[in-house]
A and B are shown apart, each in its own frame.
Chain A
Amino acid sequence: MNSSLGSDIVTGFIGEVEGYLPDMSRCLQTLQQDRAHRPSLAELHRITHTIKGAAAMVGLNDLSGIGEVLEKVMENVLEASLVLDDETITLLGDATQRIDSYCMMQRDGRAGDGRHFLKTVAEIEEKICRSTVASDEVEGSSAGSNPETILFEQGAEDDVALETAPEVLDDFFAEVDTKPSEDAESIFDEISSSVSLVEEEAEEDNDLFGSVVVTEQFVSSEERLSSSERGQAGPVQEGAETTAIDPELLECFCEETEEHLENIDNCLNSLEEDITDLVELTPSTQEILHSLRRSVHTLKGAAAVIGIEQIAAWGHDFEDFLDWLHDEARRLDSPTVAALRDGADLLASLTEEPTSPAEQEKQRIIATFEGITEGFSSNSTVSDGNEDEGIASSLIFDEVENTLDLSEESAVDFFAEDDSEVSEKTDSLFDEIVSSASLVEDIEEENDLFGSSAIEQLETSEEVSAFGESGQTGRENAEIEDIDPELLECFREETEEHIENIDSCLNTLAGQITDSVALTPSTQETLHSLRRSVHTLKGAAAVIGIEPVAAWGHDFEDFLDWLHDEARKLDAPIIVLLRQGSDLLAEISEDPSCPVEQRKHDLNSQFKKIITGGVRKEKSVDPAFFPEEEDALEEQQGGEGADNFFDELPEISGADEQVVQVVSKDIDRELLQCFHEEAEEHLDNIDRQLNHLGMTISGETELSDLRRGALHSIRRSVHTLKGAAAVIGIEQIAAWGHKFEDFLDWLHDEARSIHPEVVKAMQEGADILIRLVEDPNGSVRADQQGILSKFTRIITDDVGKSAIPAIDNMDAETVEETDSSLFSDQVSGGKTTTAPVQQSQSKKTATLRVDINRIDQMVGLSGDMVINLSSFEDSMDAASGTMKELDMILQRLKNINSSLEAGYELASIPHLGSQDDSQVSGINEDFDPLEMDRYSELNILIRSLSEAVSDLDSIMAQNALDNVAREKTVERQSMVLKELQNRMMGVRMTPLSTLSSRMHRTVREAERTTGHSARLIIDGESIMMDTRVWDVMADPLMHILRNAVAHGGSLPQKAGREPLSITIQAIRRGGQCTLQVSDNGKGLDYEAIRVKGMKLYPNDRVNLMSDSELADLIFKHGFSSTGSITNIAGRGVGMDVVRDAIDQLNGSIELVSERGQGTEFIMRLPVAVAQLPAILARFGTQIYAIPMHDLASVVRATSEEKKGREYTFDGEAIPLLHPAKVPGFEIGRGYVKKNLTEDDQALLIVHAGRKRAAVLCEQLIGQRDIVFKDLGTHLHNVPCISGVTIMGNGTLIPILQVEEVLQKWSSVIKRRDEGPAAVRSVDERGPLRILVVDDSISVRKVVSNFITQQGWIPIAARNGIEAIEEIRREKPDVILLDVEMPRMNGFEVLQALQAQPELRDIPVAMLTSRSAGKYQEKARGLGARGFMTKPFKEDEVIRFIHKETSDE
């Protein structure tokens, strides 16, 4: 058996082993003296391990086996699970000697004495078994396993009935092996019948655990048969088999096995620790069992793959038992654990020495297993399974009656392994399909396959899938349920990986292939990886038995095969298809029973189409070689080609729909957002270029380089967009982008001229792209078709044109390329795609997308900084003021000091002073006063003063210097801040051109929908405005444009009208921007507006309105003049949206429309939202800010002009407002009169919408850039005030809402005109309503009567509760309230009113018979304004009412 290896290697190996032997004996000697000498133990372990491994490598399996056993002994010793006693050491010594002699024999060239060796192995193993069990110290365990050990020991000699049967069977198998004849059939019948007998018996035995036990027995008996067969087949054959195994693989396997065995060992150890008695399965033991099972399973699988059938077979048996233990058994006891240990040991030994004759051991353990299984299942009596088994086996020859069916059944059972339930259908099917002859063949095959369980599985599932394909889907499902859950789990995991890989491959492909391109090596590779994944998946599914996955995998793989091997090109639609295919695969894998037949079918047909299409494409080039043919033919072919090209579209997208929807849901939202942002840019570019083209091309024009540049730019954008869409997975966009790009390619590369129609078609194409970007699932297919046909027509036209004049080859080639480029889905990608991409990348500047809110916050902060700085500046100013004062004081001090010095120091010289001095200063008499200074107190004081002054002076000087420095810093800071603020504002600024593409599209859409033709001209696209302005204005502008087209346009067939032309003009002046949207259409239909207005607002005297008033109507909510609602206009939410948006921006809108002369909207908007320029002016006492955009002009007026009610400005008489006369703006007592003269007054000409007015202000303060702030959380709607701004010194300046001021003014005027009776409220129209609350009906009557006489309306209430209700409902102007009333008295009513701010201002007069001052006080305290005692005088009441209502 070593023949395959070079003898020199063996010799080398033997030498190596012999080198180890002395070490081993030395170690053993050491151990004899010191049992716990760990280094020696470790050394021994290492050596045995090396011997085991090396022997296995060189093929000396015997040696490897003994090495393995020894290693295990050492392991056990090291783990302390085996006590190292003298016996063991002797045994080890013996083993060492045997190895030595073995080496000698090998060296001498004699064949290895396998038997001799095996004996050693068996001995040692036995020893280990015994020791291990003994060390467990579990009586039950030793009781359970010892007899078996003995049994095993005696196994060679004692012929127990149990053992005979297999042996007999072995004979049979030997026969089968040698002559695969008819005999085999009968033998198999017998075998299977015996199996079935076992099954029946088992079923009788136990109904509860029937199926599992049945399986168990089936498998085990079958397995046993197969293994015994192998046992018989002899070591020679097996040795050959083992050596045939790739050594490298084997090594891998060994390593893996080691790990698993270790795990198994650990598991068993922990189980042994846990389970000392019969216990219920706890989750933790369950887990251990699970881990055990997994290891065994993996080991089994690996062994099967490598081809070590012994291990696979035993692993299988073992796993079965573990399965049962894990799933069915509810308890666990130590014998079971011991049995498990036995099983694991066997597995381990098999792993080390696959050829070792472990049959008996296996038998024994299986018997133990079965004993345990039955012991558990039969609950009470431990049925002697062994004997059952034995009897069953011995009865094999008696039972021959169940022939074909049973054998089939068992065969199927065997193959399906875990598929214990096999439906009747299968049987019958099987009956029909499999004839007896073929059965024999099957069996023969099966015989060959007995060893390898993996192959068994494969075969099984293939068999099974063969059945499945006969049309039994139901059965498939049942099948899937039957699949081992663990296997399924493995499969799922694997599937996931593969599907992930497939996905990434597809993404790569989609990224690479945005165009139809030839296959590059890298795409080939991706395809290959794709195919491999699909293939593996398919294989795995087939092995496991998930037929739907396998089937679809197969189809899919076919297509991939074709793609990989045959196809030379790839394009986006194929990728899309692939993606669908992989999606389907993923879905089936997840839920194999889901109904996918339809989709499968669809995809298959598409695959076929592409495959055939690919073939046809190559052919379709041919006709293009003959452009000389008649134009008609040419065109026809073109058309057909186009049809071929385009007719894929509906089908693809049809099938796409579901998938796309699924896919688009799956798309990462973040990705999607990125994509949208990117798309927006590209779409803008496309639109800009198209517009430019549209402007410049008025007739058929040659394509200049410039225009080609534009086309190129468009193409690049479309291309990038398409690519991005494909990457993200929005197939709709990718698909359309592709078609569109094809056309653009043609246009750029082939076309020689361009005319407006082409541009129009491109615009429509771009529109579809935009719509798709907005809503990928939107139904645009019809439009797509339309535009595609347009493209085709254009191309064929152009081709026709160019084909006629040019017959030479050059042109022929052009045409050919044209055809192939467009019709074959595949454009010569390389050169056209890569170059633009690079170019666009190099063009890009570094940008960063930032959430606008963050910028807003920063803008706000910079605004606050400006405010803070200016307040700091203020305090700096104050400080320098103080400094100046200090300086003056210092000067004064200096003066005083010098005069003191001059005047008094001199005077204090003694001889000039009194004589007393001379007496005092006797000491100094020796000196002349001029010789020596003498100091008096005053002198000293003066000196110190002058010192202090000079100190102060120097400090002041220093301070002045510092101050200058500070001022400079502040100045610099303010400059920087200003700059910062401007930059921050600038960050928010975007040009009008961001909107222009949308506007163009809107107009085009409106054109399409209404049939009116229109042209949009945008002037001032570069005007920058705050992003928010554009955001808010976008919708209104679209409304205006749609309206302009819908209302202002006319159908082109109406003769004599120019096409509608709409002009948008943006002009920026200072801090405000004017947007003018004008058209030359029909203008406002004033009569229609009037009719509609009369219907909608019957009270507003619409019939008398002037045109301009009518024009204002369209801004009202819910106004729409068109009778019918279309997509374009007529929903009644048009112009009010415009108005709202402009209000929101603190802007203004004006509508000018001469009848029949078109319309013009003039919108004035602040450039920046956060900051707006405003004029500060004093109205009444207070200063207010008026936004610049509301101001038209500021004028000084003469006092006469100021007095009138109107002012003439620009030749127009406009109302003159004096806000001081508007309540709320009154001039207070102080400031104005004291400080201001009439000369300070100025007239502000303001405009609110169309209205203009002159507003008189007391003082103009100046213009400032103000930061808009709202009024806080409490005050939301303060009339006339839109917000406040904070000045540098922290003071607040309200910002005036000019329009509301004008309204207020007009109500003031009205009130003044209409007299005092109607003054009370701005909203008031009708007569006063007066609530009379009294419980006496007569009082109510009397009061109501005189109220009615006054022309007012009386409302009566009987008590307080009613009164409150009436007050709520009617909001009366005055309340006359009785005090004593049922349910709720007058005071309570008063209190309730006071609690509600909106009701508090209603004047209340008490009408009561209680005249006592106490009552009156209380009423006043509660807010009553009048107190009248009954009987009251009518005059008094009326006077009260007049007084209260005319006040304010």
Chain B
Amino acid sequence: MSGRIDSYSNLSELLRTIDQEISEVVLEYGDGLKITSDDKQQEIGRHICFDLGDRRLAVPLSLVVEVGELENIRPLPFLPEWVQGVTNIRGEIVSVTDIALYFNISKRSNRKKNRAVIVIHNGEVKTAVIVDRITATRMLYKKEETGEDEKTEQTVLTGFLSGSAVYHSGEKEEMVQLFDGEQLLSSIRI
């Protein structure tokens, strides 16, 4: 998995803007993101939105250390399949977790290449989570739980979703599901 630049040539660009936004947010709000209330929809802070399989998920920025391209994973023996190995992020050794495998969404064989990683860290455990695509960082608004949410098939992933939220993209409201990174970090502990 070395240098590969194809359809995601704009990824670096995107990552750069995201990194910038992270630092801006951190500058502005400190670590705990400021949560202000809106008239109708409650802001729930900035999130990094990503695709995993056919899902659109979002993880709060407060958990995210950095995002980046996936490179130089060194696999280790005797680890569960979903631990891809370790990688070197500026001298720090970080494990790489393939949550698609962890949630049984995709098989190892059919997963796409060139995926991005989101390094999440809750103070204790730090891991790089492989996702299919990072789409944006967005300010999300809480969406009232409506019972009419599509009752998709129950998967392991369902247990790691903490609700859904919306963001505004032009006129439209786009919906994403909130991914509970904390729970992930506590459950992947080995």
Contacts and interface: CB of A to CB of B under 8 A. Distances in A.
B162 to A, nearest CB: 14
A1272 B125 CA distance: 8
B77 A1279 contact: yes
A1385 B83 CA distance: 30
B177 interface: no
Given A1224-B77, A1294-B74, A1274 B127 contact: yes
Interface stretch (A287-295, A398-406, A1395-1403): A1395-1403
Nearest to A1281: B76
Interface string A1409-1423: 000000000100111
B156 A1286 contact: no
A864 interface: yes
30 contacts: A867-B91, A1182-B75, A1222-B77, A1224-B78, A1225-B77, A1270-B93, A1272-B92, A1272-B94, A1272-B95, A1272-B127, A1274-B83, A1274-B97, A1274-B126, A1275-B190, A1276-B190, A1280-B78, A1284-B93, A1291-B74, A1292-B86, A1292-B88, A1391-B156, A1395-B159, A1395-B187, A1397-B80, A1397-B187, A1400-B80, A1401-B80, A1421-B104, A1421-B153, A1422-B104
Given A1391-B159, A1421-B153, 16 more contacts: A1270-B93, A1271-B76, A1272-B93, A1273-B126, A1274-B97, A1274-B126, A1275-B95, A1281-B78, A1284-B86, A1284-B93, A1286-B88, A1387-B154, A1391-B155, A1391-B158, A1401-B80, A1422-B156
A842 interface: no
B79 interface: yes
User: Which 8 residue pairs across A and B have the least CB separation, nearest first?
Assistant: A1224-B77, A1274-B95, A1292-B74, A1394-B156, A1279-B78, A1272-B93, A1274-B127, A1224-B78
Contact of A1272 (B103, B126, B156): B126
Interface string A739-760: 0000000000000000000000
B72 A1292 contact: yes
Contacts of B104: 1394, 1421-1423
Interface residues of A, number: 41
B126 A1294 contact: no
Interface string B51-81: 0000000000000000000001011111110
B77 A1290 contact: no
Contacts, number: 113
B95 A1422 contact: no
B35 interface: no
A1001 B86 CA distance: 47
Contact of B125 (A1274, A1278, A1286, A1394): A1274
B138 to A, nearest CB: 27
Contacts of A381: none
B151 interface: no
A1225 B77 CA distance: 6
Interface string A1263-1297: 00000011111111111110010100011111000
B93 A1292 contact: yes
Nearest to A1277: B190
Contacts of A1304: 78
Contacts of A1291: 72, 74, 88
A867 B91 CA distance: 9
Contacts of B125: 1273-1274
B188 interface: yes
Nearest to A1267: B91
B2 to A, nearest CB: 10
Nearest to A860: B91
Contacts of B76: 1271, 1275, 1278, 1281, 1294
A1412 to B, nearest CB: 15
Interface of A: 864, 867, 1182, 1222-1225, 1269-1281, 1284, 1286, 1290-1294, 1304, 1387-1388, 1391, 1394-1397, 1400-1401, 1418, 1421-1423
A1397 B97 CA distance: 12
Nearest to A867: B91
Contacts of B188: 1274, 1397
Contacts of B80: 1397, 1400-1401
Given A1279-B78, A1286-B88, A1292-B72, A1273 B156 contact: no
Contacts of A1280: 77-78
B168 to A, nearest CB: 33
Contact of A1274 (B75, B153, B156, B189): B189
A1222 B78 CA distance: 10
A1273 B65 CA distance: 14
A1413 to B, nearest CB: 14
Contacts of A1418: 153-154
B154 A1272 contact: no
A1271 B95 contact: yes
Interface in B132-190: 153-156, 158-159, 187-190
A1275 B77 contact: no
Contacts of A1401: 80
B124 interface: yes
A1292 B78 contact: no
Interface string B112-136: 0000000001001111000000000
B151 to A, nearest CB: 12
Given A1278-B76, A1291-B72, A1394-B156, A1273 B88 contact: no
Nearest to A1294: B76
Nearest to B93: A1272
Contacts of B126: 1272-1274
Contacts of A1292: 72, 74, 86-88, 93
A1290 B190 contact: no
A1391 B153 CA distance: 11
Nearest to A1228: B75
A1274 B103 CA distance: 18
B95 to A, nearest CB: 4
Contacts of B74: 1182, 1284, 1291-1294
A1042 B93 CA distance: 41
Nearest to B122: A1273
Contact of B91 (A1273, A1286, A1387, A1388): A1286
Nearest to A1296: B77
A1223 B81 CA distance: 13
B1 to A, nearest CB: 12
A1388 B77 CA distance: 31
Most B Cβ at <10 Å: residue of A1273, A1277, A1418? A1273
A1131 B93 CA distance: 39
A1422 B78 contact: no
A1395 B94 CA distance: 22
Contacts of B127: 1272-1274
A864 B91 contact: yes
A1421 B155 contact: yes
A901 B94 CA distance: 61
A8 B93 CA distance: 98
A1223 B76 CA distance: 11
Given A1272-B92, A1290-B88, A1395 B77 contact: no
A1374 B155 CA distance: 21
Nearest to A1275: B95
- Most-contacted residue by chain B among A867, A1279, A1290, A1292 (CB, 10 A): A1292
